Chains A and B, each alone.
Chain A
Amino acid sequence: MSIQVENISKSFGAFAALQGVSLDFPTGELVALLGPSGCGKTTLLRVIAGLETADAGRVILDGEDASDTHVRERQVGFVFQHYALFRHLTVFENVAFGLRVRPRRNRPSADEISRRVHRLLDLVQLDPLADRFPPQLSGGQRQRIALVRALAVEPRVLLLDEPFGALDAQVRKELRRWLRRLHDELHVTSIFVTHDQEEALEVADRVVLMNRGRVEQVGTPAQIYEHPATPFVYGFLGAVNCFRGRVEGTHVRVGEARLPHDGQVDGQVDGQVDIEGAAVVGFARPHDLAVVTDLAAANGVDAIVSRVHAFGASVRVELDSLEGAADRGEPAHYEVVMPRERAVSLIDGQRVRLVPAHLRVFADQAA
């Protein structure tokens, strides 16, 4: 089943949690709502579920406007970060809850309920624990019960709020793979909220990146990672090096140095394109920077090696800018990742030159 949200806005007092968000969630996909805390992702999920009423905008489920439908009639499955299991009920009764509260004419028979609950518990390999109470389960087990409890009512969509947020790292990884497999089996349209970019990129078919109540970018994990649409997306997905400067033809002037850019400036102020002298910021990933020890080499920014982390297959090098070399005199810090053999000669305190292989340039909003 498909979900569309149109122009959703929601404020809590003076805080605007969502500002005109419009999105389209195609049938059968597993979508991640990703962003820093306070970006509005959980609020959007709760608006879709009907747990929160939007100030403006529409929620369309399967082509029907569901904005005024009460949460209990929306037929959505909602999985809470802290599970929200009923601790006075057994695992079995928790999963059966949604079936038992149905009006008599729609309620399955006791046998049918039992059969369906056991089948679901089998699906998550927790059938032997059917008679336990939630406090007797581990965090990972509770989260799986919470998930099948939501699935028991055969929801049209499955919504998960930070489903792995309360678990420790080991269990988290395991449950991530498990959620992906489960989704591939059931193909229920699912949206999950996370602040963990690795989790979003690894599990989802599609990622929606949000910031300050707005959508920054929508795309497949590869698109989002390879082609960030905004400086925010660049900064949010993994480590990044920033170079602030001004456009000079096909280059960017950063202090004394000139760096070649990818040939296009995104996010022009006032719609002006490739203006000579415009303030810009260039981004390069740690693996897109080359460290050159030959200080005569062209097109590079000078820096001092501050620390070499030489463990694992690749080496991570931290560097500081030279005084005056960085734009506007602010001290800058850089991070470079390179294969181990290329870093052998580097020592702390050495002066080197950084040459970006790719420099993605955006108009500098801060300038």
Chain B
Amino acid sequence: MSAGVLHGRALARRFEANPATREPIWMKRLILTIALAFFVLFLFLPLVAVFSEALRKGWLVYLAALVEPDALASIRLTVLVAVIAVPLNLVFGVIAAWAIAKFDFRGKRLLTTLIDLPFSVSPVVVGLIFLLLFGAQGWFGTWLFEHDIKIVFAVPGIVLATVFVTFPFVARELIPLMEAQGRDEEEAATVLGASGFQTFRRVTLPSIQWGLLYGVILCNARAMGEFGAVSVVSGHIRGATNTMPLHVEILYNEYNFAAAFAVASLLAMLALVTLALKTFIEWRAGRVVTVDD
């Protein structure tokens, strides 16, 4: 009779039907009104504002802002950065989750905390770190200059900064999931003679696929949308080292609001797709669990 198996509407119905957990109707209305007003004010209106501002001067201006060469270059760069950073962190996330969830060792908690570390570092500080390492006055600056390799104020720097800020997404999604699933199934597969890789592919992967996808989607959203860290290492060279968020900034600072919001609306759509997929995955994953019950 625990509430654990119930979710969403069914759970709320239970609370609303139970005399012991039901609030007086005026109190329920008050709480709902305040909560939803907060939601509209801080989440819904900003989202609507993006699209409304983007279309303020009509569809032609909107489309023109998107097909303009610098805008297209920023889109290409954003996709390129994500295509490099997301797979890197995906592979790392799976490897780290296997080591942490399937084995016991000293310092496991510390390692888990260190993996989460990039989340607590200010994006600006992240950018600064890579300047200190690879900038003209940085540790490797002279060596890089002599060999004519550009990292900061170039694409590699942007990729590095993005990899840093998106580092934990996949791992932190998988670790609790794989810990909860335990080791029994993998051990059974091993006893049956499966190799390590076969065990992973045939036993572990099918049961973590939704969590994996979840992590990848969030990782991708952050990779495409990162602003602070990338801003520091990019150098803001139009058409060359501007990602979409940086392009938005430049347009905005030039008072070209319609174009800024047009590019921003693409990123907002990416956010909406991300949230839709996330909701879908949560629903799917929830359904898998109930079927298993």
Contact = CB atoms under 8 A, between A and B. Distances in A.
B20 interface: yes
A52 B1 CA distance: 14
Contacts, number: 13
Interface residues of A, number: 8
Contacts of B20: 51, 71
Interface string B1-40: 1000000000000000111100000000000000000000
B13 to A, nearest CB: 10
Interface of B: 1, 17-20
13 contacts: A42-B1, A50-B19, A51-B18, A51-B19, A51-B20, A52-B18, A52-B19, A53-B17, A53-B19, A70-B19, A71-B19, A71-B20, A81-B1
Nearest to A81: B1
B40 to A, nearest CB: 34
Contacts of B1: 42, 81
Contacts of B19: 50-53, 70-71
A1 to B, nearest CB: 21
Contacts of B18: 51-52
Contacts of B17: 53
Interface in A21-67: 42, 50-53
A42 B20 CA distance: 16
Given A51-B18, A53-B17, 11 more contacts: A42-B1, A50-B19, A51-B19, A51-B20, A52-B18, A52-B19, A53-B19, A70-B19, A71-B19, A71-B20, A81-B1
Most buried by A among B1, B17, B20: B20
A227 B17 CA distance: 40
Nearest to A50: B19
B3 to A, nearest CB: 12
B12 to A, nearest CB: 15
A224 B122 CA distance: 73
Contacts of A81: 1
B127 to A, nearest CB: 44
A107 to B, nearest CB: 21
A160 B1 CA distance: 15
Question: Which 9 A-B residue pairs are closest in the complex by CB-CB distance?
Answer: A71-B19, A71-B20, A51-B20, A50-B19, A70-B19, A53-B19, A51-B19, A51-B18, A81-B1
